[in-house]
Every structure is written in structure tokens, then in C-alpha cells.
């Protein structure tokens, strides 16, 4: 088919990943670190501007500069940008960019004779953009929920309760605190739609994947909800473009990118999506029941669902999938590697010693259980750090090592039940995915195959795969999503870990015990 570029504009960097679908290979991956290039100019640290009082912003002009730098680095890496057939991308979710009435005209009239950032510096009604780390909107969250009839009403309507980091509360706070700037605002973009607008030279709408992280979109119709808009800010509807079809080409790249960076004039641009929904595609989760677990500082579970089911207890977020059909559940467990490392360090082990302890200890751990809340936990909600042991001697090294892994596997099974889907496969990423004893425990607890899935950037890969899918659809040669993702998301069969059926009864019994222990101590 050709070459396709996926761009991921994250909190700390902008990454470009190019895939060749003819050879099913990633042929380039480069990244622009914001602190390395722009810390002094934009006052960012770890890509963020801390304004105090929980206000965490970033600089849209910085993203524009990074986009040009990314193109230069891709060219320097040996990529001929003229061979790129289509571009899609992802952006850190929830961040809002506020544009004035000059934006549309300025974007359409870009000149290749000048830097992008210098040409667009006057299009903003607000110089900085609040991002997902912003914690200043607690009052606005309560107001929005009340405005639609309560917390459960907003949950059922948009798929999520009001979160401080979500776009809707950010918008409401801006209207309340900066009314003059609000009046100068003609369009509100998200990080994703802002970057795609720069490439297309026209304002591009938010796709449903990113729109479902705003508290503003009806999760089932995939359109802006009049009730949610009215509860958020006056005249908000006229400041938002309609929700975009994620698979529909919005046009070709603006001549600026052709003349200045060598793109083909036929290179197509698709709507960008959020980083989490893009990662769903990049992890190959395009069929209901497919689940991935990222074993990082926090453990994050991603799942593909066939219906818009919500977590009434607020344990998971729900987004629309950019595949246009399915939905994405996201659950975050704070005590991921944080807990694994705490146990490792408590017993003076290295990772080889940790693996040895797992291998020596029996499945089910003799009934010994641990609630490994070494820090306050998100799922389940635990307000203060504490570690609970039940039938477990703190002095027995092997048993404690196994207890922390079994706890994480059992917790992931319990707290994914609200999704209402049978988990039939589990892709595991992150540092802990290299340990087959850890993978065996997850396979046995979930009763499904587990396979390590190594990708440098799932969001950027997902974006590139979306570009390939949209390009084929535009040519009248649409492919099934499973066929698009399979060449890039199917690890060798030898890496797969099958569940040990002899352990199923052991873990079903342990699940009941763990559920009861957790219910006793959570909250």
C-alpha cells in the first residue's frame, strides 16, 4: 500500500513513526523532546508550565515548532517525506486550545517562506493550553454534574463522571475566570485537532475517540450533547466543530508542508485522536474481548468493548474507539511497578532474584494474600497507603513476592468485570512483561493466553495504522481493521503463554477470598 506517518503529541515530546505496509515494518521513529528544545523559550519543565494552584498548562506554539522540527528529523533519518501517503495522529487527551476569529484565515494562508510558529502566534485567544494534569477544576466538575441532573446522569450520557483533567471542566473554568478572553474565542480545539489543523491548513474537528474525554459528547451517538454543552458554558456549541469521522480524510496537507518539508501534494490528512484511543489501535485491540495491560509505574488496562457500558462505581473511563464501531475501557491501577519494586527492595532482591522467588512459590500461594497499596490507590479507591497481609508471613520472601503479583492479577480481573465482556486474549507491555512467570500468573488468573507485546510507541503506531486504514477507505479499498493491525501487532506464537488449566480452580477460589479482603479494607 505505501508509507504512512503517525504523529503522537504527548506531554513531554512529539514522536513521528513511519510504517511501510508493503513490508509490514516500522521504517522510522524519531522524537522531539520539548525540554531539550524549548524549555527556556516556553518555560516548560517536563513539557509542562506550572501556573500554581493546580493549574498545569502547556504552549500550543511549542507544539507547532515541534511539528516542524519533527519533519526535519524524519528527513535527516533518511525518510523521504514525499513517499508518505497519509498522516494521522494522536494527542495527549483533554488539553484544550483556544483560537480566535483569525485562526481559520491564518491557517489557510500559511506561507512556506516563514516558520509555522511565527505565522500563527496571533491566532490564540489564550496563550497557553490547560492539559490533562490540571487539577484546578473541582468546583466546575460539581457544577457540570449538577447541570445535567447529577453524577450518574453525566456518566450515562458521556461515559464518564466529571474529571478535573477533562476538557469540559477546563472550558467552564476559562469562561468563569476569563470572560473577556472567552468572548474572543471563536473555536476550541483539543491537542489532537489543533495539530491536525496545522497540517491540513484548516480547522479540523475533534474525533469521537478524543471527544469522549471531554465530558461533552454523547457516548452512544458520538455527537456533542446539547445538555452537556449547556451545563458547561454559554454559546459553547458555536465554538466547536461537529465531531469528525475518524476514518474520513479531511483533505491533503497544506502547500506549506509540500514546499517547506517535501511532502507530496497528494498526502492525505485524517483527524487525529486521543493518545489512549490511538493506543487501543496500536495494541491491535479491534475485537471485543481483546485486552492489553501495560505494566508500568502504574498498571493500565485497555479493553475493546462492543457496547457503551459504564463503570457506575467510577473505576474505569470509557472512550469511543477510533475504529468507528467499538468502545474502549481504561482502568488505571496506581500500584503497578511501584508495588513490585517496593517488594523487591524490601527483601533485598534484584529482578533475577524476584523471578526466582516467583518460580519457587506455588500457584495460589497457600491462600496467602496481600493488598499491595504501597501508595494511595485509584482502583479500588484507597485514600491512604497501607499494605494488608492475610495468611501471609511478612518474613517469607517467596510468598510475599508471589502475593504482590497474584494481587495485581486478581485485582485486574475483579475490576474489569463491569465491562461485561469475556477476556479472550491479554497483550502485556512494559518492563514486567519480560518475566514469563509473571505472565503465567496473569494467564492462569484470567484463563486466557497472554503474550508480551513490545512497541516503542503504541499511540504513534496506532495513528500510523489509522492513516493506512483511512487512505485505503478513501481509495475504495477499505480493509477490515483486523487485517490492518495484524501485521504490526501479532507477536510470534513462541512468545505466547497459555493458561495452566490445572490452576483454574485454585485461582477461582483465591479470587473469592481476595474480593472479600479487598471489600473489607478499600475505601
> Within this chain, do residues 244 and 148 fall inside the same structural domain, yes or no?
yes
CATH value at residue 211: 3.30.420.40
Q: Which of 245, 277, 309 is the endpoint of a domain? A: 277
How many structural domains does the chain have? Answer: 2
pTM of the model: 0.90
pLDDT at 422 (0 to 100): 85
**Which pLDDT tens digit goes with each residue over 374-419?**
999 999 999 999 999 999 999 999 999 999 999 999 999 999 999 9
More confident call, 493 vs 497: 497
Return the SS3 of 413.
helix
**Which pLDDT tens digit goes with each residue over 105-115?**
999 999 999 99
**Distance separating alpha carbons of residues 460 and 193, to the nearest angstrom:** 15
pLDDT at 297 (0 to 100): 83
> Within this chain, do residues 327 and 264 fall inside the same structural domain, yes or no?
no
Whether 464 maps to a domain, the answer reads no
> Within this chain, do residues 227 and 152 fall inside the same structural domain, yes or no?
yes
Whether 470 maps to a domain, the answer reads no
32 Cβ contact partners less than 8 Å away, ≥ 6 residues apart = 13, 14, 15, 66, 69, 70, 73
pLDDT at 454 (0 to 100): 67
- Look at 30-34, 140-144, 296-300 and tell me which has the smallest mean pLDDT: 296-300
The total of other beta-carbon atoms located within 10 Å of residue 267's CB is: 23
Whether 463 maps to a domain, the answer reads no
pLDDT at 315 (0 to 100): 85
Whether 232 maps to a domain, the answer reads yes
pLDDT at 159 (0 to 100): 96
Task: Name the residue range of residue 95's domain.
Answer: 3-277
Q: What band does 298 get if pLDDT is binned at 50, 70 and 90?
A: confident
Q: What percent of the chain has pLDDT over 90?
A: 89
> Within this chain, do residues 199 and 97 fall inside the same structural domain, yes or no?
yes
Find cell 511501584 and name the residue.
338
pLDDT at 261 (0 to 100): 98
The whole-chain average pLDDT of the chain stands at: 95
Whether 186 maps to a domain, the answer reads yes
Q: How far is CA 323 from CA 285, 418, 449, in A?
A: 10, 22, 24
pLDDT at 47 (0 to 100): 94
Find cell 500500500 and name the residue.
1
Q: Which of 277, 312, 331 is the endpoint of a domain? A: 277
Are 44 and 34 in contact, with CB atoms under 8 Å apart? yes
> Within this chain, do residues 155 and 232 fall inside the same structural domain, yes or no?
yes
Cα end-to-end distance, the chain, whole Å: 52
Q: What cell numbers appear for 288 in the block?
A: 471485543
pLDDT at 433 (0 to 100): 85
* pLDDT at residue 104 is higher than 80: yes
> Within this chain, do residues 273 and 403 fall inside the same structural domain, yes or no?
no
* pLDDT at residue 456 is higher than 70: no
> Within this chain, do residues 224 and 260 fall inside the same structural domain, yes or no?
yes
Q: What is the mean pLDDT of residues 142-171?
A: 96
pLDDT at 124 (0 to 100): 98
Whether 478 maps to a domain, the answer reads no
Rounded to 5 degrees, φ, ψ at 450 are -125, 140
> Within this chain, do residues 181 and 244 fall inside the same structural domain, yes or no?
yes
* pLDDT at residue 1 is higher than 80: no
> Within this chain, do residues 108 and 22 fall inside the same structural domain, yes or no?
yes
Find cell 463491569 and name the residue.
418
Whether 237 maps to a domain, the answer reads yes
* pLDDT at residue 89 is higher than 90: yes
Q: Which of 229, 258, 277 is the endpoint of a domain? A: 277
Q: What band does 96 get if pLDDT is binned at 50, 70 and 90?
A: very high
- Helix H or strand E segment including 172: helix 167-177
Q: Write the DSSP string, 284-314.
A: T--STTEEEEEESSSEEEEEEESS----TTS
> Within this chain, do residues 146 and 264 fall inside the same structural domain, yes or no?
yes
> Within this chain, do residues 263 and 154 fall inside the same structural domain, yes or no?
yes
> Within this chain, do residues 253 and 289 fall inside the same structural domain, yes or no?
no
Q: What is the mean pLDDT of residues 38-62?
A: 95
Q: What is the mean pLDDT of residues 38-43?
A: 95
Q: What percent of the chain has pLDDT over 70?
A: 99
**Distance separating alpha carbons of residues 500 and 444, to the nearest angstrom:** 6
Amino acid at each position: 500500500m505505501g508509507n504512512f506517518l503517525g504523529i503522537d503529541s504527548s506531554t513531554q515530546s512529539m514522536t513521528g513513526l513511519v510504517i511501510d505496509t508493503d513490508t509490514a515494518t516500522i521504517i522510522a521513529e524519531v522524537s522531539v523532546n520539548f525540554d531539550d528544545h524549548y524549555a527556556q523559550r516556553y518555560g516548560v519543565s517536563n513539557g509542562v508550565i506550572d501556573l500554581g494552584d493546580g493549574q498545569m498548562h502547556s504552549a500550543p506554539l511549542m507544539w507547532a515548532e515541534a511539528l516542524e522540527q519533527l519533519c526535519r528529523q524524519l528527513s535527516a533519518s533518511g525518510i523521504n517525506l514525499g513517499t508518505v501517503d497519509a498522516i494521522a495522529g494522536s494527542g495527549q487527551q483533554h488539553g484544550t486550545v483556544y483560537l480566535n476569529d483569525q485562526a481559520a484565515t491564518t491557517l489557510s494562508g500559511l506561507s512556506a517562506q516563514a516558520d509555522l510558529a511565527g505565522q500563527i502566534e496571533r491566532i490564540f485567544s489564550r496563550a497557553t493550553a490547560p492539559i490533562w494534569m490540571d487539577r484546578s477544576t473541582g468546583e466546575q466538575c460539581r457544577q457540570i454534574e449538577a447541570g445535567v441532573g447529577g453524577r450518574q446522569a453525566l456518566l450515562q450520557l458521556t461515559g464518564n463522571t466529571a474529571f478535573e483533567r477533562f476538557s469540559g471542566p477546563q472550558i467552564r473554568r476559562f469562561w468563569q475566570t476569563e470572560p473577556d478572553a472567552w468572548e474572543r474565542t471563536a473555536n476550541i480545539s483539543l491537542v489532537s485537532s489543533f495539530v491536525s489543523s496545522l497540517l491540513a491548513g484548516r480547522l479540523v474537528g475533534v474525533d469521537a475517540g478524543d471527544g469522549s474525554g471531554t465530558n461533552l459528547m454523547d457516548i452512544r451517538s458520538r455527537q456533542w450533547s446539547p445538555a452537556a454543552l449547556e451545563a458547561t458554558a454559554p454559546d459553547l456549541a458555536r465554538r466547536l466543530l461537529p465531531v469528525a469521522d475518524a476514518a474520513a480524510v479531511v483533505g491533503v496537507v497544506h502547500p506549506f508542508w509540500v514546499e517547506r518539508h517535501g511532502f507530496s501534494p497528494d498526502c492525505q490528512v485524517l483527524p487525529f485522536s486521543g493518545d489512549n484511543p490511538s493506543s487501543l489501535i496500536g495494541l491491535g485491540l479491534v475485537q471485543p474481548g481483546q485486552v492489553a495491560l501495560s505494566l508500568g509505574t502504574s498498571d493500565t488496562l485497555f479493553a475493546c468493548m462492543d457496547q457503551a457500558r459504564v463503570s457506575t462505581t467510577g473505576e474505569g473511563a470509557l472512550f469511543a474507539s477510533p475504529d468507528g464501531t467499538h468502545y474502549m475501557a481504561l482502568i488505571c491501577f496506581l500500584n503497578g511497578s511501584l508495588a513490585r519494586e517496593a517488594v523487591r527492595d524490601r527483601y533485598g532482591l534484584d529482578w533475577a532474584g524476584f523471578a526466582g522467588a516467583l518460580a519457587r512459590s506455588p500457584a495460589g500461594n497457600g491462600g496467602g494474600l496481600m493488598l499491595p497499596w504501597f501508595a494511595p490507590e485509584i482502583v479500588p479507591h484507597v485514600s491512604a497507603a497501607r499494605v494488608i497481609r492475610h495468611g501471609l508471613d511478612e518474613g517469607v520472601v517467596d510468598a510475599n513476592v508471589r502475593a504482590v503479583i497474584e494481587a495485581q492479577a486478581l485485582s485486574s480481573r475483579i475490576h474489569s468485570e463491569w465491562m461485561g465482556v469475556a477476556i479472550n486474549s491479554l497483550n502485556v507491555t512494559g518492563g514486567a512483561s519480560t518475566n514469563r512467570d509473571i505472565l503465567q500468573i496473569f494467564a492462569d488468573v484470567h484463563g486466557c493466553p497472554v503474550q508480551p507485546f513490545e512497541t516503542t510507541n503504541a499511540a504513534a503506531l496506532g495513528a500510523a495504522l489509522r492513516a493506512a486504514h483511512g487512505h485505503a477507505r478513501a481509495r475504495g479499498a477499505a480493509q477490515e481493521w483486523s487485517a490492518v493491525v495484524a501485521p504490526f501487532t501479532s507477536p510470534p506464537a513462541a512468545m505466547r503463554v497459555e493458561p495452566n488449566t490445572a490452576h483454574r480452580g485454585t485461582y477461582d477460589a483465591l479470587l473469592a477470598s481476595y474480593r472479600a479482603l479487598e471489600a473489607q479494607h478499600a475505601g
